[in-house]
Chain A
């Protein structure tokens, strides 16, 4: 295992050793194609069935046939949204939020160019939705509502179950990108109004390259990939057998660890947050602290920039991520931070720490010690900072001409 403190589990997670072990035979002796009639394929076919049941159990789905294996969360999102549009050609509107993951947002922006109308629900300063706005947009023109269950940057949870019920009563399909939420909060899809849900294996200690689309029985569907009969023709392409086995195991383990996530992982997160907020001035938690994933904390350090913080953390072996413009290839500041109206002198300094059950309290204490000197070091360089606090009226004292 690599050394260092990994607090970037919302980006991806380590594949659990038990999962790797379960997967290994399916690269070698169990190499058969599950569609084949002979003994080589037959055995693989049986374990895929078992994996499907393991996923079904974690999601609380009614039937195992509601689970469709895909290649990733992005594929699941695209399949869900495009399916809804194809299956209901008369409906030309989509409802989503301004803080979605690019997997949904970029697709929606593209669909706008194709002539669809996309309603982007806004969020308040804590990243919460206005339910009245949502209700007012539901109509017969809407093909699909696609809302993330938990925000990847701030961890803020949306009231998905409630929103799904509202959509259903308006006769509108409901999809949720639950990539960050699955395995961290309990789910019971059979008793919900959710029609489709996306899940990504590598966020819960399964490998990269495997995802799930949950498709409620009876929901009208059009496949994205056509070809063979795999996944009952709903997603053609030979099954990624080893990864499916891994994801099944990961779901089983996540189910068992659910209470640990809620208690111990949350305790580590809270300790880190309190420790940093106590030791560092001019920083605050973004998102809705009272309603978020137990593993995520996003702290905005004012007057310094996130990439610089990450580089210095990385030097000390600590891995986190940032909503700053400069850490993304796009140069755009995080759309999530902007949507929450975080001032840019703070948004650029937002750092996300995201835990997994493989972190320890000892690591948390090390990070609490490491962060304050890094912030001090960078503030010394900042034109907004003077000695022990920001310069008076920072926005006026330093008002550069922008190019």
Chain B
């Protein structure tokens, strides 16, 4: 059975705001193809202030789908529509003290129902911008679509590359076969053949003759390339200091204190090293504080 938090269980056994709202003036119907769950969210919105007075849900789905729906309605009641739209699926998952990786899509469904309901209220057509594929990496909840797109966009060639860019495959190794299949498929699109013995991240851009300023700008650029992956997990990275081969960064948001921070730093290091074409070391903010100051 799934490892559900106490809060998830509590919201499942005693769901809040179950059923349709009587005076609803906004409805959002969404479903998740990956598991067949579906959710109808009804809202009563105050016409004057655009505040959500009441919210109700009807869910066809599993324990975490019902718990996510219940949490969503609790979170958004009393919010203005604009504030409610800022509620992310991560917020829903956090409200529930976490969801198993395979169940994160339940919280995504909640956020989408909210967007659909707001669009309905505003007379807009809601369009789903989120494509979800089969879950490939269970350690880090990375799906097929994301891996495919990352491989295609960055011309990745090895499992190690994929782990560095998406984290997928960086854990228990069980998905390496699946990742290799994706690599073979995507590489075949451009007439390439996947080579299981290829070495990850071949240095393609040697960094001869960059000035310090150019080098720092390049580091910022490279960090910007990785940023979307971190932000997807509600984290971020900030460049603190560049000291020769030592590059100090601060992990922020969800990345701060994340138990996978070391793995993430490793991924950033790999990316920077590739982009700069030289050996560098990426170190966390804590290391900057401990840096020995010459002459002190």
Instruction: Give chain A's interface residues, CB within 8 Å of chain B.
Output: 303-308, 310-312, 314-315, 324-327, 329, 331, 333, 344-345, 348, 380-384, 398-403
Contact = CB atoms under 8 A, between A and B. Distances in A.
B200 to A, nearest CB: 24
5 contacts: A380-B18, A381-B19, A384-B60, A401-B29, A402-B32
A382 B66 CA distance: 10
B101 to A, nearest CB: 10
Top 5 A-B residue pairs of the complex, sorted by shortest distance between their CB atoms: A326-B62, A307-B62, A383-B58, A400-B31, A400-B29
Interface string B61-89: 11111100000000000000000000000
Contact of A331 (B18, B35, B40, B59): B35
B62 A403 contact: no
Contacts of A333: 35-36
A383 B60 contact: yes
A311 B63 contact: yes
A26 B89 CA distance: 54
A403 B108 contact: yes
Contact of B60 (A305, A310, A399, A401): A305
A152 B128 CA distance: 38
Given A331-B135, A401-B126, A382 B58 contact: yes
Interface residues of B, number: 45
Given A325-B35, A380-B18, A345 B60 contact: yes
B65 A305 contact: yes
Contacts of A311: 1, 9, 12-13, 63
B12 A400 contact: no
B102 interface: yes
Contacts of A380: 18-19
Contacts of A383: 29, 38-40, 58-60
A381 B15 contact: yes
Contacts of A306: 62
A15 to B, nearest CB: 21
B132 A326 contact: no
Nearest to A315: B13
Given A380-B18, A398-B29, A403-B132, A331 B34 contact: yes
Q: Identify which of B38, B40, B103 gathers the most chain A CB atoms within 10 Å of its CB.
A: B38
A325 B35 CA distance: 6
Nearest to A382: B60
A308 B116 contact: no
Nearest to B42: A383
A324 B40 contact: no
Contact of B66 (A308, A325, A384): A308
Contacts of A315: 13
Given A311-B63, A315-B13, A324-B62, A400 B35 contact: no
Nearest to B18: A381
Contact of A402 (B30, B60, B66): B30
Contacts of B134: 331
B189 interface: no
Nearest to B134: A331
Nearest to B40: A383
Contacts of B37: 305, 325-326
Interface in B186-207: none
Q: Identify which of B30, B35, B131 gathers the most chain A CB atoms within 10 Å of its CB.
A: B35
Contacts of B35: 325-326, 331, 333
A59 B66 CA distance: 47
B112 A403 contact: yes
A267 B108 CA distance: 45
B30 A400 contact: yes
A382 B59 contact: yes
A305 B61 contact: yes
Contact of B31 (A324, A327, A329, A402): A402
